[in-house]
Amino acid sequence: MAKRMREFIRIDPELCSGCQRCHTVCPVDAIEGEPGEPQKICGDACVMCGQCVQICSAYDAFFEKDADWRVQKLRERNMPDGTNEPLFAAHYRGNFLAVKEILMHKNKFTMVQCAPAIRVALAEEFGMPLGSLVPGKMAAALRRLGFDRIYDTNFAADLTIMEEGSELIKRLTEGGTLPMFTSCCPAWVKFIEDKYPELVGHLSSCKSPQQMAGAIFKTYGAGLDGVAGENIYSVAIMPCTCKSFEAGRQEMKASGYQDVDAVLTTRELGYLIKEAGIDFAGLPEEEFDKPLGIYSGAGNIFGVTGGVMEAAIRSAYEMVSGKPLDSINVTSVRGEIGVRRTIIDAGEFQLKTVVVSGLKNVLSLLETVKQGNAEFDFMEVMTCPSGCISGGGQPKMLLPLDVPDAYHNRRNSLYRHDEELTYRQSHENPEIKTVYEQFLGEPLGHQSHKLLHTSYKASS
């Protein structure tokens, strides 16, 4: 396992100055080394969140290096040869070259999905203002890159709420392991499997939206296009450096094939667009393909910390109480505080929730769960400090002063987009209703359990 983890996140000893800034942000103390000496990542501890990649300030002064050295480094990192950005010591080894090859040869039917946080960060790669909301330009760019179907992870986020909300209600009303933990963040799931194996049963059995989308693409989506699942190449564009690890898990083959074939970060999508010579800022606004590109505001806010909880409350409240929320905006779960507690009065019972930003902030709560003293029913945990908008695969802020503004603007853009959308609750999404009627049956049913749920287990 350690070797596999280091394939994704690495620290180049030739470039590392030993400043130890990476130590300050690593949520699991996985970085080892003396001050002033090259640092190393302990693969057994690393959860691949990529926060070390975001904060690293040690880079190559490439004007002092020869061209062959630089090309070698770029290829080791699976980056395009023409990239002229600095090469930082802490880096992510991605899938840019593999996806580029597939798009060039057109020997597979390609489907692509885009996480909610991508649409508020991608434009920064092209000099546009921090937090610019660009879903239409992003869809247009992906179409020009040659993807056959441009779908959206937000659709699968709505699907996640249908399943996760139903699972929570079942655990509350029929008996089940409580409190229930969200399972959307793969770094958080890996942390529980590695460090708190006795609490694995508290994780929701739901797959993440990325993996739900992958399974749906190669089954329901394949049927829509009359394409065999084996001939589909499914790509996910993610803000997270741990998503490649998640896609490669052995259990993520519900469609009969690897459900997600490759994951690109926001930065890697930027490389593809630049290398193709696409004028991103000048692109028209285009729509995602239907039906798997239609989403609600609830699915959209998965990109911010507290978003999964708010989306779940918006639907679960109505499922339990039979009446709408007084306000669709559940502002009590929003914010950047490490731990936020909220009690929702849902008629038959009070739903006690906890939202956690940053992995280190969850440790004391996990101890209360172990001791049987947890005073909450449902907990959302995001490994990265502001949720997915601050993921390790997002555009890197070269000036630390820009970081707070970037996170603030990205977050506000997602909430603004939520307000603009026709549907703001996952269960209102008409295409979600259709996929259940035509294919899945019902939440927690046989087909949805087979494709959309999994079992997590302690690491061996």
pLDDT band at 326 (very low <50, low <70, confident <90, very high): confident
Q: Retrieve residue 392's tokens.
A: 């390790």
Instruction: Please state, for a pLDDT cut of 70, what percent of the chain lies above it.
Output: 98
On the CB side of 272, CA atoms within 13 Å amount to 27
The pLDDT value recorded for residue 5 is 44
The single-letter code of the amino acid at 144 is: R
Tell me the per-residue pLDDT of 200-216, one tens digit each, with 9 for 90 and over.
999 999 999 999 999 99
Q: Given 204, 255, 357, 413, which residue is catalytic?
A: 204
- Is residue 428 annotated as part of the catalytic site, yes or no? no
Q: Please report the pLDDT score of residue 2 as a whole number.
A: 36
Whether 306 shows a pLDDT value over 70: the answer reads yes
Kindly name the residue from 37, 198, 251, 285 that is annotated as catalytic.
251
Query: Left (φ > 0), alpha (ψ -120 to 50) or beta: where does 387 sit?
Result: left
Give me the residue label for tokens 């399972």. Answer: 183
Domain 1-93 class, CATH top level:
alpha beta
The one catalytic residue in 167, 310, 380, 431 is 167
What would the mean pLDDT of 110-126 be, rounded to a whole number?
98
Q: Which of 336, 388, 413, 426 is catalytic?
A: 388
| Superfamily of the domain at 150-452 | Fe-only Hydrogenase (Larger Subunit); Chain L, domain 3 (3.40.950.10)
Our answer to whether residue 64 is catalytic in this structure is: no
pTM over 0.85: yes
Quick check: is 124 catalytic?
A: no
Q: Tell me the per-residue pLDDT of 206-265, one tens digit each, with 9 for 90 and over.
A: 999 999 999 999 999 999 999 999 999 999 999 999 999 999 999 999 999 999 999 999
**pLDDT, position 460:** 57
* Catalytic member of 184, 206, 242, 384: 184
Residue in 84, 91, 78 with CA at minimum distance from that of residue 12:
91
Tokens of 277: 């010579």
- Pick from 42-56, 120-134, 341-355: least confident: 341-355
Mean pLDDT for the stretch of residues 278-292: 97
* Domains of the chain by residue range: 1-93, 150-452
3-state secondary structure the chain: CHHHHHCCEEECCCCCCCCCHHHHHCCCCCEECCCCCCCEECCCCCCCCCHHHHHCCCECCHHHCCHHHHHHHHHHCCCCCCCCCCCECEEECCCHHHHHHHHHHCCCEEEEEECHHHHHCHHHHHCCCCCCCCHHHHHHHHHHHCCCEECCHHHHHHHHHHHHHHHHHHHHHHCCCCCEECCCCHHHHHHHHHHCHHHHHHECCECCHHHHHHHHHHHHHHHHHCCCHHHEEEEEEECCCCHHHHHCCCCCCCCCCCCCCEEEEHHHHHHHHHHCCCCHHHCCCCCCCCCCCCCCHHHHHHHCCCHHHHHHHHHHHHHHHCCCCCCCCCHHHCCCCCEEEEEEECCCCEEEEEEEECHHHHHHHHHHHHCCCCCCCEEEEECCEEEECCCCCCCCCCCCCHHHHHHHHHHHHHHHHHHHCCCCCHHHCHHHHHHHHHHHCCCCCHHHHHHHECCCCCCC
Does the active-site annotation cover 184?
Answer: yes
What is the pLDDT averaged over residues 380-388? 95
Instruction: For residue range 307-323, list pLDDT tens digits in order.
Output: 999 999 999 888 888 88
Segment 394-419 mean pLDDT: 94
User: Which amino acid would we find at residue 411?
Assistant: R
Of the residues 125, 164, 336, 431, only one is catalytic, namely: 164
Rounded to 5°, angle at Cα 93 from 63 and 235: 125
Lowest-confidence pick of 72-76, 190-194, 195-199, 415-419: 72-76
